Structure 1
Amino acid sequence: AALPRSVPIATVSGRYYAMDRDRRWERVAKAYHAIVEAEGPRFASAHAVIVDAYARDISDEFVIPAVVGDYGGMRDGDGVLCFNFRADRVREILVALLDPAFDGFARRRSVRIAGAAGMTQYSEQLDAFMGAIFPSQSLANVLGQVVADAGRTQLRMAETEKYPHVTYFLNGGEEEPYEGEDRIMVPSPKVATYDLKPEMSAPELTDRAVEAIGSGRYDLVVLNYANPDMVGHTGSLPAAIKAVETVDAGLGRIAEAITRAGGALLVTADHGNCEMMRDPETGGPHTAHTTNPVPVLLLGGGSASLSAGRLADIAPTLLELMGLPQPAEMTGQSLLHRVHERSDVA
């Protein structure tokens, strides 16, 4: 597929800058200045931007915001159409473009946008400035709601890089917590790239998790370790090894806390990354997600083993571990395979 000649590409940027999600406004500013003010390195074509980046060993994520051709920046009366599906990665740049009261960085120039729309809804804050072509669907009886409706307590934990994943996304696109849902957010380290600190904030997150488990206040604790994904994106194998070692140590401590509390621990992921740090075709660094099968590990749970399944089966599995019925809206099934003792076997 190709763009019509009347639709040129004006700027190119890696998501490190244009799609930051941790309020690192100095990065977003570079993308904003390129888009609005046509400020940044200039190239004859979008292809030339990528070729130049690769020649300097800069992968897609870290491409410095660049201006293409004779693009002169945005003008009053321009419109904005955002076709990104994921909400968390476009919120900051859209707020900078659309919110007159934005103060994350100094906008040397702003424009009067004639209209703005997204393919979906990105946040309640952005709803005030843009419409949605496909409004978000309301999801009934997601995991958190079922737990809350049963009168159980739950805790969501992550560092800031992954905070939306255990809150907004896990709650079906809803920002507000359920009744009995607490949240702990640990700031991610302020480094240029996470290979410089592959431990990230996992040690502090682990400390808080062990404390929460030991307190007995929660029936369900959901925790996200960002390290294998975020450090995997850097392409640094030594850093990825350190990241995995850090998470392994943290999981060991959490497993001990779960065992002391008489609970069950389920460990899984929704995609791969750091298990492939070298591109099998080029031999260079591999910095993207993979579609490899992910492990599902169970500690505790009584006389049960796990069967193979899919991501949709995780919530039903957790509900069975908690002794709660699975709602009809959940299309997955529990992965637990109960092992029953037979009286006729010695």
Structure 2
Amino acid sequence: YYFNGQREQAFPGEDRQIVPSPKVPTYDKKPEMSAVEVTQKAISKIQSGTYDVIIINFANPDMVGHTGNLKATIKACETADTCIGDISRAVLAVGGVLVITADHGNAEEMINPSTHGTDTEHNANPVPFILVGNDFRTATQISQGILADVAPTILSLLKIPAPSSMTGRNLLR
């Protein structure tokens, strides 16, 4: 949904697995949300060998960050970190590549630097773009990119030419 222009209807060949969020008054009451269940489903799909691409949205750092509860947001981030580690091991085991990124910041800045009050909004802070794979064993600093660069970079990993309508660039060149 978030990676295909927020289109409700799936494209041909697209298989969506929706894991419902927990029914709680606010997500700081369950900061892990459904991340563990998402991870279990993802690992099962990775191990199946059925898919060339799997896109996962860990909503908990962002959604819990919106509550302004720092302790719960830390727990949400720790949960996402553990889950990403599990997925990383599964991806490496099948010789795949894991791309980790985000379209905005939130959980990393819980105190507004201007007002010193609680910050619960998205921000434009730089976000990581991390590649995990057998060809990416050593840390390499790439030049700063923008959100439009994510899709062309992923297409290059899949050895698919980026359409001319894409304005972003391949971050690996």
Query: Structure 2 counterpart of 1:253, which letter?
Result: D
CA distance in 2, matches of 1:308, 1:212: 32
Q: Which residue of 2 aligns with 1:183?
A: 16
Give the TM-score of the pair, scaled to structure 1. 0.47
Query: Structure 1 counterpart of 2:29, which letter?
Result: L
Q: Which of 76, 80, 83 is the equivalent residue of 1:250?
A: 83
Give the superposed CA RMSD: 1.6
Query: Structure 2 counterpart of 1:324, which letter?
Result: I
Query: Structure 2 counterpart of 1:217, which letter?
Result: T
Query: Structure 1 counterpart of 2:135, which letter?
Result: G
Matches within 5 A, 1:41-190: 167=1, 169-190=2-23
Q: Which residue of 1 aligns with 2:27?
A: 194
Q: Which residue of 2 aligns with 1:64?
A: none
Q: Which of 156, 163, 168 is the equivalent residue of 1:327?
A: 163
CA distance in 1, matches of 2:66, 2:50: 35
Q: Which residue of 2 aligns with 1:292?
A: 125
The 1:232–1:173 alpha-carbon spacing in structure 2 relative to 1, beyond 3 Å, is: closer
CA distance in 2, matches of 1:212, 1:174: 22
* Percentage identity across paired residues of the two chains: 54
Higher relative contact order (CA 8 A, sep 6+): 2
Query: Structure 2 counterpart of 1:209, which letter?
Result: A
Where does the alignment leave 5 or more consecutive residues of structure 2 unmatched?
Answer: none
Shift of 1:175: 2.6
Instruction: Work out whether 1:311 is the aligned partner of 2:144.
Output: no
Please list every run of at least 4 consecutive aligned residues from structure 1 whose deviation after the TM superposition is greater than 6 angstroms. Answer: none
Instruction: Work out whether 1:264 is the aligned partner of 2:83.
Output: no
Shift of 1:227: 1.0
Q: Which has the larger radius of gyration?
A: 1
CA distance in 2, matches of 1:327, 1:235: 40
Q: Which of 34, 42, 51 is the equivalent residue of 1:209?
A: 42
The size of the alignment, in residue pairs, is: 170
Where does the alignment leave 5 or more consecutive residues of structure 1 unmatched?
Answer: 1-166, 338-346
Q: Alignment partner of 2:16: what SS?
A: strand
Query: Structure 2 counterpart of 1:226, which letter?
Result: A
Give the TM-score of the pair, scaled to structure 2. 0.92
Q: In 1, are the aligned partners of 2:100 and 2:131 still within 8 Å (CA)?
A: yes
Shift of 1:194: 0.6
Q: In 2, are the aligned partners of 1:301 and 1:321 still within 8 Å (CA)?
A: no
What do the CA deviations read for 1:261-284 (whole angstroms, capped 9, x no partner)?
101011001111011111223332
Q: In 1, are the aligned partners of 2:66 and 2:121 still within 8 Å (CA)?
A: yes
Q: Alignment partner of 2:62: what SS?
A: helix
Matches within 5 A, 1:218-233: 218-233=51-66
